[in-house]
Amino acid sequence: MEAPQPTGWVGWVALAGIGMMILGCFQAFMGLVGIFNTDFYVVTANNLAIPVNYTAWGWFHLAMGVIVFLAGAAIMTGKTWGRVVGITLAALQALVNFAWLPAYPVWSTIVIAFDVLVIYALAVHGREMKAFDRGAVP
């Protein structure tokens, strides 16, 4: 099957890829804060949706950030596996940030909203990035 011609939605897919790379960095920074400065958070670890210490949660956020960044880079090159991993990670990242909501309410809400946009752009229009990457611009 031939890749579809790119439309204006390629911009949304590129936004999803670049956004995932940026969010991956922010997610990694959130993890580093959880690892190195557990007194930063207003809510104690016992009052989180999933009671776990901030250091363990920080390592998880750091790993998620690196993986999300790499998936964003794959999306920018039009890789199909990047789309699949991107959708999966955006959904997982939204769930993780939902659990993180009491500790970081505003930031977690922003990340969840952006993850929904990423999932839509990749699921509906992600194949167009491959055609755009090949230079098949109308």
Q: At what angle do helices 105-125 and 9-36 cross, to 10 degrees?
A: 150
Q: Do residues 34 and 45 make contact, with C-beta atoms less than 8 angstroms apart?
A: no
pLDDT at res. 41: 64
Q: Does 63 score more than 80 pLDDT?
A: yes
Which token pair is 23? 């969010």
Q: Is the pTM of this model over 0.75?
A: no
Mean pLDDT of 11-16: 84
pLDDT at res. 2: 61
Rounded Cα gap, residues 40 and 80, in angstroms = 39
> Among 35, 84, 38, which Cα is nearest to 63's?
35
Close Cβ partners of 3 (under 8 Å, ≥ 6 residues apart): 127, 128, 130, 131, 134, 136
Tell me the residue length of the chain. Answer: 138
Mean pLDDT of 67-83: 87
Q: CA-CA distances (angstroms) from residue 103 to 34, 71, 110?
A: 11, 26, 14
Q: Does 98 score more than 60 pLDDT?
A: yes
Q: Do residues 56 and 96 make contact, with C-beta atoms less than 8 angstroms apart?
A: no
